[in-house]
Amino acid sequence: MNISPQFNHGAHEIFDVHEVLSCTIGALNKYTVLRSKVKDQELLDILDRQHQFMQQTYNTIVDCFKSGQDPAVPTKTYMMKENNTFKFGLTPTQPKKPIQSETEINDEIISGWMLGSAKSLATVKTGAAMETTNPVVRRVLADSIPNCIEMAYEISIYQNKNGYYQVPQLPITDMQAIMQSYAPASEAVAAR
């Protein structure tokens, strides 16, 4: 049966891509609402760059989803400005708790919501890409997953630098013991 590229989608794919696009709209809306509440210029720069990138990715997915063919604007690569430096260790802080008022929204909370959005998009796009039948849509979804990961990583570095996201570390002897507990697989030929 010869199907037009526009309708080269399985039912499961339709629902999965619908979920990807709905989650992306949710993330874009969240970024738009939160923008006016950001205090730190660095976080505002990250938010603006990520919003712009997510919007372009959304448009690319919509384009190939509707046409079933290569999008007019292909998937691009998100480039963060942050370096890859994490501060390790724990510093005592006040216990976290839910806010009681919108006036308590601050850069820590905003960056946490941004991190959650990027992680959610990576998860939903991964699930959709594995079940998408249209090869163009599947490739666009798959190619966009590393960008979600990069955005989440950028936010986690920002949070770590500002003390919002602490990274505990095992003692070196424990790390070495675990790291040394694995060896490469042998290249033995499987029995037939």
pLDDT tens digits, one per residue of 104-113: 999 999 999 9
Burial of 110 (0-12, 13-18, 19+ CB in 10 A): buried
Instruction: Reply yes or no on whether the pLDDT at 2 is more than 70.
Output: no
What fold, for 5-79+105-179? Ferritin (1.20.1260)
pLDDT band at residue 190 under the 50/70/90 scheme: low
CA dihedral of residues 157, 159, 162, 167 (deg, nearest 10): -70
pTM for the model stands at 0.89
89 — phi, psi (to 5°)? 110, 165
Domain ranges within the chain, ordered by starting residue: 5-79+105-179
Q: Write out the DSSP string of 50-81.
A: HHHHHHHHHHHHHHHHHHSS--SS--------
Instruction: Reply yes or no on whether the pLDDT at 148 is more than 90.
Output: yes
DSSP state of 163: T
CA dist 188 and 9 (Å) reads 41
| Amino acid symbol at 111 | S
- Coil vs helix vs strand at 192: coil
Residue 53, CA distances (Å) to 17, 32, 79, 103, 125 in order? 18, 13, 10, 28, 15
What is the average per-residue pLDDT within 117-124?
A: 97
User: pLDDT tens digits for 3-57?
Assistant: 666 677 778 888 999 999 999 999 999 999 999 999 999 999 999 999 999 999 9
Instruction: Reply yes or no on whether the pLDDT at 174 is more than 80.
Output: yes
| Amino acid symbol at 105 | I
